[in-house]
Structure 1
Amino acid sequence: MKVITVTVLVALIAMASAAPAEKYDDTYDGTNVEEIINNRRLLLPYIKCALDQGKCSADGKKLKVHIKDALATDCEKCTEVQKKNNKLVFKHLINKEKDYWKELVAKYDPERQYAPKFEKLYLVS
C-alpha cells in the first residue's frame, strides 16, 4: 500500500511540474515596442511609471506588476513576443538610457542578482 501511495505522489508531482507555466496576458503583444523605445516622449512615461516617478497608463501599470517576476524567472511566463520585446527594451535601456537603467536596477534588483546577466548579454561596447 505504501508503494502505491508513494508512486501516486511521485506521479502527481511530476504532472504538476510538467504542466505548462501560466503565461502573462498577451493583450499588448501587438504593441510596437521599437517605436516606443526610439521615441523618448513615448518611452519616458513608461520608465517614470516603473520608477514610481510619474503617472501610469493602464498598460504601464500592467507592465510594472510583472517586472520583478520576469527578471527573477528569466521571463519564463512571457510569450515569445514578450521575450523578443524585452530583449529590445533591455538592450536600449542598457546602452542608451544608462541612468534610468541604473535606477530601474536599484528598484527592482537592488542586490544585482539579475542585472549583470542582462548587461553582459546586451551591452554594446
Structure 2
Amino acid sequence: MKSWFIFALALVAACSAETYTTENDDLDIAAVVANLQTLKEFVDCFNDKGNCNPQSGDFKKDMAEAIQQACAKCTDAQKHIFKVFLDGLKQKLPAENEVYRKKYDPDNKYFGPLEAAIINA
C-alpha cells in the first residue's frame, strides 16, 4: 500500500510538471512580428492557409490545446511568444486575426482566459 501511495505521488508530480516541448523557446518572436511577410506565413500555417515551417509547425501542433487550457502547459518563454504573437497579429493583420480566433475559439470562450494567463509574459 505504501509503495502505491509513493507511486501515485510521483505520478502526480510528473503530470503537474508537464510542459510543451521547449525546442523553439528561443524563437525571436519580435523579429517574426516585425516582418509582415514572416508573420503572415506563421498565421497562414496556423489557419491552414499555407505551409508550415519547422517552427510554426511545432507551435501549431499544440495550438488548440494551449488556447483551450489557457497555456497551462506553456513555459514562460512560450507565454511570452504567444503574447507577442497575439498582440502583433491583432495590430498588423486584423483580418487574419479574426480568422485565427474563429478557427481556434468559435464560441469565443477561450481567448479571454488565455490572454489573462499571458498578460504579464
Could you say what secondary structure the match of 2:72 adopts?
coil
Alpha-carbon distance between aligned partners in 1 of 2:10 and 2:23, rounded to the nearest angstrom: 29
Query: TM-score if structure 2 supplies the norm length?
Result: 0.79
- 1:9 is displaced (CA, Å) by 7.7
Q: Distance in 2 between matches of 1:27 and 1:101?
A: 25
Greater mean deviation of Cα atoms: 92-101 or 81-90: 92-101
Aligned counterpart for 1:88 among listed residues 84, 91, 95: 84
* Percent identical: 24
Q: Which has the larger radius of gyration?
A: 1
Which fold has the larger relative contact order, with Cα–Cα distance below 8 Å and residues 6 or more apart in sequence?
2
Partner of 2:93: 97
Distance 2:93 2:5 in 1: 48
User: 4+ residue stretches of structure 1 with deviation over 6 A?
Assistant: 7-12
Partner Cα distance (1:94, 1:16) in 2: 40
Aligned length: 116
Describe the superposition over 1:91-113 as per-residue Cα deviations: whole angstroms up to 9, x where unpaired.
Answer: 22223322111101111111111
Question: Aligned to 1:95, what secondary structure does the other structure show?
Answer: helix
After TM superposition, the score normalised by the length of structure 1 is 0.77
What one-letter code is carried by the residue in structure 1 that aligns with 2:21? D
Query: What's the RMSD between the two structures over aligned residues?
Result: 2.4
